[in-house]
Amino acid sequence: MFSRKGIRGNEQPAGWLFVAPAVLILGLFMLLPILMALWVSLTRWNGQGSPFTGDVPFAGLDNYTRLFTDEGLARQDFMTSIRNNAYYVFFVVPIQTVLALGLALIVNNRLLKGKGFFRTAFYFPSVTSSVAISVVFLFMFANGGAINAILAVFGIEGPQWFSDPRGLLHIVLSKFGVSSPSPLVDHGVFGLSWWDWLSGPSVAMCAIISLVVWTTSGTFMVMFLAALQNVPVQLEEAGRIDGANRWQLLRHVILPQLRPTTFLVVTLGLIGTWQVFDQIYVMSQGNPAKTTLTPAFLSYRTAFRDFDYGSGAAISFVLFLIIVLLTLLQRRITRERDS
Amino acid sequence: MRSKLCGATLAAVLIATSACGSGFDDNGSGTSQSSSGPADLKIMIASSGDAETKAVRDATAQWATSSGNKAEVIPAQDIVQQLGQALAGSTPPDVFYVDAARFADYASVGALEPYAQDMQGVDAFLPNLRQSFTYEGKVYCVPKDTSTLALQINTDLWTKAGLTDADIPTTWDQLRSTSEKIKAKGITPLAIGDTRDRIGAFLVQAGGYWVSADGKQATGDTPPNVEALTYVQSLLKDGLAKYPKALDAGWAGEAFGKGKAAMAIEGNWIKGALSADFPTIKYTVKELPAGPKGKGTLSFTQCWGVAAKSKFKQQAVAFVQAMTTADQQLSFSKSFGVMPSRQDAQATYQQQNPDDAAFVAGAQYAQGPVNAPKMDSVLADLDAGLQGLQNGRPATVLQRFDKNAKTALGG
């Protein structure tokens, strides 16, 4: 808009020159592959030769509409994966945020001895390879594994974790005598009945949820801890002088100070949980009965197992849109509270 | 000024796009063939273990020196994915293993050269295996070896349950009555994998199968199939058969090796697995019990695929021929325990491995995997249904399969 001449007039080209390497690398390795994938998602490319020749059949939006409007396996699998992942996010994000905050508060406590030890212990799962942890959890959640052995001490017969496709909500409802009510079973949306939508996470998914909460809350604890250490001691002391008890201090003094960090943690949590892949790949491959199928894993399977690269790419773009929309929504909600 | 720079950046990105695009391009449709002169073959294998890798490497080196070519064996970690990438980049290995269950996917997209159609001596291979590698009337590649399903019996648990050789089940009714006797002693009778690749054998025994022989029609919801699944379901419901996960095992062979089940239904590979992980277990192998329509089992096989885009097709076919002679197959079976896919090698194999009689016998009447493209997700969905067979309705599982398969096969 303004071309300001003078002593700083030549800064813009210089600025661009300095960021050129970064722009080039990001463009080449991020933007370009994304655009290529976008093109693939509009084709019926079968994985033979280049997708950028005239021979590749153009599909338009078919790959996308198949996920939403056409009755069939593609839509059913996709919607099942969305359902599974939604429950996964719904449980993981709040639990890991609260847990991370709790751990940070503990470690930040001035009276705690051996802070360094606890900080390391809580952070340790985050720096360990997720594949290694997944394998260990597989052993722990085996039918005769540690978890079931501990449950047996309390007289509880543990489930067969990784072969139990029953949804948590279905189990709870069946305790009250509700199982497959026909109004919910006979009607539905997007190829799944309401009853299927309301299944809750399966027992197998619960094991994965607990694993992810355990591994990621360490990372987020560090973020909360950094923010906590920036809260001025004077604020706390002022609060105490005003007669606030510990809960009031946390609720009205510390938490408001942590708002930017909480936003960051929840956002990162949302993005990360919608993209869950490696735990699924290592532990369950979508089994039992597709209850741990997630969009990221489905996208991989559709592309590399079925040679349906177009649909696979389309799934990942829909996932991308879901993440963007949810992040925007979350930002909006937190902003409204401010005013 | 800003818009100009943005334009420049965009232009740079576009140039990069076109530059990258050219890297993907295949140079014309006809691949240049170098039929004469020494070839440089790349052979990608999905090895079952070090023994196989070494055996194939040795045989390849021998072929390379005697024929004056160069050949390199690449063991793949995940052959489906690695091949997928190589095919997308137009630089596939010249020769690679193709699993029968994935064969139609590769054949339908034109990745494979149908060399076996005109290859000499193709009739020597078992007919049902040739059928597994036939797509739209053309035989594409020759099977490298085969395995079939059979019934393994833990002899210690057998005697513990008070059973003798006379109790070895040869029909469905006997399987049920024997299992009831075993269960009465507090032992789990049968471990069976919760997948189409095991339960499918019962369908064959009942005279049905998931798809028609030509692989063009879904034939799930038919009386024989319903009968077979109902029978399997009754075994599961009465605790006469259990899925491996319910026995805390990754697969039926592990449950069997740990002594958690008296019988298992697995293929030739169980031999190597048991001697490696559970060397003390005593067992015999028998043919699967016959169903209402006689004996039936499933076969599993891989073929030596030759890439349609290979530059050295002629040499590749010569290589495959060298790898599939009767002598070479017998040498492979000695090194890593696979069963030859040639009829003329099977007799010798049986002499050398008398314990494998049941597997060899099964190869004569075995049914290959579903041979149709784009079926992987449909079959995965079927497996999900079979996992819930105990509490489900067999007809529902089969109808669902039919519906999904019709879309995949028709489209």
What is the average per-residue pLDDT within A36-63?
Answer: 86
pLDDT digit string (tens) for B31-49? 556 555 678 899 999 888 8
What are the backbone angles phi and psi of residue A127, rounded to the nearest 5°? Answer: -95, 0
CA distance B132 to B369: 7
Q: Which residues of B touch A (CB under 8 A)?
A: 1-2, 5, 9, 12-13, 16-17, 20-21, 24-26, 80-81, 84, 87-88, 90, 105, 109-111, 243, 245-246, 248, 374, 376-378, 380-381, 384-385, 387-388, 404, 407-408
- Look at residue A111 in the predicted model and tell me its pLDDT: 77
Q: Which CATH superfamily is domain B160-299+374-410 in?
A: Periplasmic binding protein-like II (3.40.190.10)
All structural domains of chain B with their residue ranges: 40-147+300-367, 160-299+374-410
pLDDT digit string (tens) for A161-188? 887 778 888 888 888 877 777 777 778 8
Asked if B13 and A160 come within 8 Å (Cβ–Cβ), the reply is no
Question: How far separated are the first and last CA of chain B, in Å rounded?
Answer: 52
Q: Which distant-in-sequence residues (6+ apart) come within 8 Å of A88 by Cβ? A: A201, A205, A208, A209, A273, A276, A294
SS3 content of chain B, % helix, strand, coil (to 5): 50, 20, 30
pLDDT digit string (tens) for B240-281? 999 998 888 889 999 999 999 999 999 988 888 888 889 999
Complex prediction ipTM: 0.73
pLDDT digit string (tens) for A237-293? 898 899 888 888 888 888 988 988 999 999 999 999 999 998 999 888 887 878 899
What are the backbone angles phi and psi of residue A120, rounded to the nearest 5°? Answer: -65, -45
All structural domains of chain A with their residue ranges: 66-165+202-338
How many residue pairs bridge chain A and chain B with CB atoms within 8 Å of each other? 107
- pLDDT more than 70, % of chain B: 91
Q: Which amino acid is at B156?
A: D
- Look at residue A48 in the predicted model and tell me its pLDDT: 79
Quick check: B30 pLDDT over 60?
no
Asked if B387 and A301 come within 8 Å (Cβ–Cβ), the reply is no
Largest Cα–Cα distance of chain B, in whole Å?
93
What are the chain B neighbours of A84 within 8 Å (beta carbons)? none
Burial of B35 (0-12, 13-18, 19+ CB in 10 A): exposed
Tokens of B352: 């050398």
User: For the structural domain made of A66-165+202-338, what CATH number should be given?
Assistant: 1.10.3720.10
Asked if A143 and B248 come within 8 Å (Cβ–Cβ), the reply is yes
User: For the structural domain made of B40-147+300-367, what CATH number should be given?
Assistant: 3.40.190.10
Nearest neighbour of B407 by CB, restricted to A13, A72, A306 = A72
pLDDT digit string (tens) for B271-284? 888 888 899 999 99
Beta bridge partners of B44: B74, B96
